[in-house]
Amino acid sequence: MTGTGPPGLDPRFKARIGDPLAGVGEPPPVLLPDHAGILARRAERLTVLAAGHPMEAWLRFLAGMARAQHAAARDLAAPPLPRAAAGEPPLAELGLGAGWRAVLAALLHPSGDAPSATEAACAALRDASADAQEALAAAYLRQEVPPGQAGAALFAAAALQVWYVRAAAALDGAAIALLTQPGRCPACGFAPVAGVVTAAGAAPGTRYLHCGLCATAWNHMRAVCTGCGEAGGLVLQQIEGGSEAAKAETCTHCRGYSKLFYQAQDMGVEPLADDLATLGLDLLVSEAGFDRLSPSPLMIGG
């Protein structure tokens, strides 16, 4: 692989998520998000997955939120990028401030069919001080959302996704190094929502972990636990009669699991959307005694 993408690709990047890279070769270690398109694709996928789903209303609500995220991200200027310490993800110290709060304000107007509890959470967050809004965002990033604030934290998380996706899109992909902790995003340090096994591109069959915050993807060896790093004791679990594209990789060493989505069975998979639509798989493996290695980013407190 030469490190160049299709015509029109920003030369700072080796590749972007979803690029139809030609040929077979070494997979790029890091794929940065396309802030102008990734949230729109997520909205489309959520809409498709919602049809006839037991959680159809919830998935359609999230599809609407993803469309609002896309509108906010499309014309958003890249946030000021922090100077990262050696060995740290470049977005580890990304600030928020007025720019992030403007994104949050744009998301705090859900559709008219939103539940009354959602409307109340939005109203409370709109009336909150800037310090309180940023404190909630910081609590979300630490995964320490106070009890009773899960509803408001959902909107803070959605605004953080827009902010971090836009920042990640402005990074120099060639300068990002994988972390010594393979289960952490090399761009922002957040946890992966799921892995995707590719069916196209430079190296079909490659596993990429996808960040639940900034949507960066990074290569992770297959048949190695993303939590403890052990290569033995891994078992793929799936719902009998369910989609062949969605599986849980369980580890008998650490008793953890992570989700894998296979493009060979469904080229439309989008890790965050498909994660939300496969919560039944989480129930299956949790009942078998396995703990999820990293939480679903929009299932706050669940």
Query: Is the model's pLDDT at 32 over the cut of 50?
Result: yes
Q: What is the DSSP letter of 16?
A: B
Counts for the chain of helices (H) and strands (E), in that order: 8, 8
Would the pTM count as exceeding 0.85? yes
Q: Is 206 helix (H, G, I), strand (E, B) or coil?
A: coil
Query: Is the model's pLDDT at 17 over the cut of 50?
Result: no
Element (H, E) at 200: none
> Can you give the pLDDT at residue 293?
95
53-107 tens-digit pLDDT: 999 999 999 999 999 999 999 889 999 998 888 889 999 999 999 999 999 999 9
196-243 tens-digit pLDDT: 999 987 778 999 999 999 999 999 998 899 999 998 889 999 998 888
Q: pLDDT band at residue 5, thresholds of 50, 70 and 90?
A: very low
Beta bridge partners of 257: 250, 292
Q: pLDDT band at residue 250, thresholds of 50, 70 and 90?
A: very high
b/e burial code for range 145-165 (CB count within 10 A of at least 16 → b): beeebbbbbbbbbbbbbbbbb
- Of 278, 211, 208, 201, the closest CA to residue 238 belongs to 278
Q: Is 233 helix (H, G, I), strand (E, B) or coil?
A: coil
b/e burial code for range 7-26 (CB count within 10 A of at least 16 → b): eeeeeebbbbbbbebeeeee
- Of 121, 39, 68, 62, the closest CA to residue 299 belongs to 62
134-188 tens-digit pLDDT: 999 999 999 999 888 998 999 999 999 999 999 999 999 888 989 988 889 999 9
> Can you give the pLDDT at residue 112?
59
What's the token pair of residue 38? 């990734």
Query: Which residues in the chain are classed under CATH 3.90.1670.10?
Result: 38-169
b/e burial code for range 276-293 (CB count within 10 A of at least 16 → b): bbbeebbebbeeeebebb
- Please tell me the CATH code under which domain 38-169 is placed: 3.90.1670.10
Amino acid type, 59: L
Q: What is the DSSP letter of 119?
A: H
Find out whether 16 and 31 touch, Cβ atoms under 8 Å. yes
DSSP string across 62-86: HHHHHHHHHHHHHTPPPPPPPPPPT
